Structure 1
Amino acid sequence: MIRGDLFHRLRRDDRGATAIEYGLIVALIVIAIMVSLGTLADGGSGLWAVVRDKVVEATPA
């Protein structure tokens, strides 16, 4: 009887599944943040290249 009771409690226990679901949600959020930061970094580096070119043009030779 003790083994049967343990088996039924383990079958009803969904804490592990909940932890996995939270882990997947966090992983998707991290991926979204990384993609966003990559996009911002590309735009930022282009902006600084334009600023650098303008400074070089304005600097007397």
Structure 2
Amino acid sequence: MQKLLTRITDLLHDDKGVSSIEYALLGILIAVAILGGVLTLSDAVKSTYQLIAARMP
């Protein structure tokens, strides 16, 4: 029983997972920024392609 309590205490004080969480949050932030940029530019790109398609013979 003491061995189990010692193991649980060690797991609670372990800091190895903190870096993983930080990298995951950073990855999510980058993904949200890319998605926001794509959504912002999508209408402009669509209208440009429609303009080019309209001018093609």
TM-score (norm 2): 0.63
- What does 1:23-42 align with in structure 2 at a 5 Å threshold? 23-42=24-43
Q: Which residue of 2 aligns with 1:13?
A: 14
CA–CA separation in structure 1 for the residues paired with 2:42 and 2:26: 24
In structure 1, runs of 5+ residues without a counterpart are none
Q: CA deviation at 1:29?
A: 0.6
Q: CA deviation at 1:7?
A: 4.1
Alignment length (residue pairs): 56
> 1:3-48: per-residue Cα shift (whole Å, max 9, x none)?
5543443233112222122111111111111111222222111112
* AA matched with 1:49: Q
Please tell me the root mean square deviation across aligned C-alpha atoms, in Å. Answer: 2.3
In structure 2, runs of 5+ residues without a counterpart are none
